[in-house]
Structure 1
Amino acid sequence: MTDSRNTRRSSGKRERLAAAAAQVLHEKGVEQTTLADIARAADVPVGNVYYYFKTKNELVEAAISAHAQGLRAVIDTLDALPGPRERLKALLSGWVDQRELTALYGCPTGSLASELDKRADGLDESVAEVMRQLIDWVEVQFEAMGRDDSRELAVALVAAYQGISLLTNTLRDPELMAVEGRRLERWIDSLA
């Protein structure tokens, strides 16, 4: 029989390692991150990492899953808002609120997607699925606004965010994201 306290402790370490992987990969990138970096961030002995994740790629996959869970949590919160326009503006506001972090490291998911795109190990497809989920949700919001071109608008909104994230990070200027956020809010308001 399994001791539920040990199971909780194990799952807690696994979750801490996944969250730490997402954070450290965002800050350092896949190639520069070591398992020791992730273990240190998760406050787990480095030897224990191998108990939960046999390879670095498994940890990257766990980080991608953490990004997907974070996106689902954001979407759940946004879906509680009364209308699609408010939901989209709240999404923008959340992005803009992270502008200081974006200036330092870029978009967490976008930076990871860009780095993993250069590999052919399936991780690129996993992170692309997280991006697809975001685009799909944004598309639903534009559909709810009565737009026939909802997919194109969704891609345009996410592309604008990814582009400004790259510029904000490259130029280390968080104000760029604030300005673009205001422009995108006006753009959303202009869509009938």
Structure 2
Amino acid sequence: MTDSVKPRGRASDKRRRLTAAAAQVLHQQGVERTTLADIARVADVPVGNVYYYFKTKDELVRAALSEHSAHLDELTGGLDELPDPRDRLKALVEAWVGRRETAVRYGCPTGTLAVEVDKRADGILDAEAGAVIRRLLDWAGHQFRALGLPDPDGLAVTLVAGYQGMSLLANALREPEIMTREGARLLGWLDALEAPGNPRGPGE
């Protein structure tokens, strides 16, 4: 039994490493510039193993999207430990700003990938990329709804659009300060939002 478990464990570890490598390399190099050999090198596995687990580059893109979704769930799961929805949203913005150097070099991981796969004709991968962004919008909308704010889904779009915009500009202009400044604006905006009939008191 021990011998039968070890190969499965090694196979699972290789697939996990390849998935993580796909997310990293596709973010850094883009879909078109990335080869299966690039993924294998970063994952530290023989290139033949990539073909064993992922037959096509599209399957690697799908794996990368799954990795981004898992990272998002990990991030929002940690934020959900905070008792106040406003604090969760502000901590999300602070997490974005904390990754500004990565954004400057490569852009938003999911956003840049979504733009790339949107150019493809089948429309399958771009829908999957959109689903990851939709998860973030749904989570943010839930926080605004918990605050009793009107149009919570619209507010979620404003928040995520603000992040995508500052990430894109920081990347295009190679200026991390853009994310610092715009992140501060988003934090001020979140602080200023008030539910109808329930204004925030001093110090709240």
TM-score (norm 1): 0.98
Measured in 2, the distance between the counterparts of 1:8 and 1:157 equals 41
Q: Bigger shift: 116-125 or 82-91?
A: 116-125
**Hey, what does 1:73 align to over in structure 2?**
74
Q: 2:129 aligns with which of 127, 130, 149?
A: 127
Residue 193 of structure 2: aligned partner: 191
1:147: how far off?
Answer: 0.8
In the alignment, what sits opposite 1:33?
Answer: 34
For residue 202 of structure 2, what is the aligned residue in structure 1? none
1:98 aligns with 2:68: no
TM value normalised by structure 2: 0.92
Counterparts of 1:89 and 1:6 in 2: how far apart (Å)?
A: 44
1:23 aligned residue: 24
Alignment of 1:51-70 (within 5 A): 51-70=52-71
For 2:86, give the aligned amino acid.
R
User: What's the CA shift for 1:187?
Assistant: 0.1
Task: State which drifts further: 71-80 or 114-123.
Answer: 114-123
For 2:162 and 2:42, the matched residues in 1 are separated by 32
Distance 1:7 1:61 in 2: 22
Deviations along 1:112-167, one digit per CA (max 9) or x if unpaired, are 01111111331101110000000000000000110121011000100010011000
1:3 is paired with a residue whose SS is helix
**Over residues 72-129 of structure 1, what are the superposed CA-to-partner deviations in whole Å (9 max), with x where a residue is unaligned?**
1111101001111110011001100000010000001110011111113311011100
Residue in 2 aligned with 1:165? 167
Equivalent AA in structure 2 for residue 33 of structure 1: T
Q: Return the letter of the residue paired with 1:164.
A: M
Task: Among all aligned residue pairs of Structure 1 and Structure 2, give the percentage whose two residues are the same amino acid.
Answer: 60
User: CA–CA distance in 1 between the matches of 2:6 and 2:94?
Assistant: 39
> Is residue 141 from structure 1 mapped to residue 143 from structure 2 by the alignment?
yes
Q: For 2:65 and 2:116, how far apart are their aligned partners in 1?
A: 13
Please state whether the residue corresponding to 2:157 is helix, strand or coil.
helix
Unaligned runs of 5+ in 2: 195-204
Q: Structure 1: 5+ residue runs without aligned partners? A: none
How far apart in 2 are the matches of 1:163 and 1:22? 21
Selected match of 1:181 from 176, 180, 183: 183
> What secondary structure is seen at the aligned counterpart in 2 of 1:178?
helix
Task: Tell me which structure has the larger Cα radius of gyration.
Answer: 2
d(CA) in 1 for partners of 2:156, 2:41: 38
How many residue pairs align between the two structures?
192
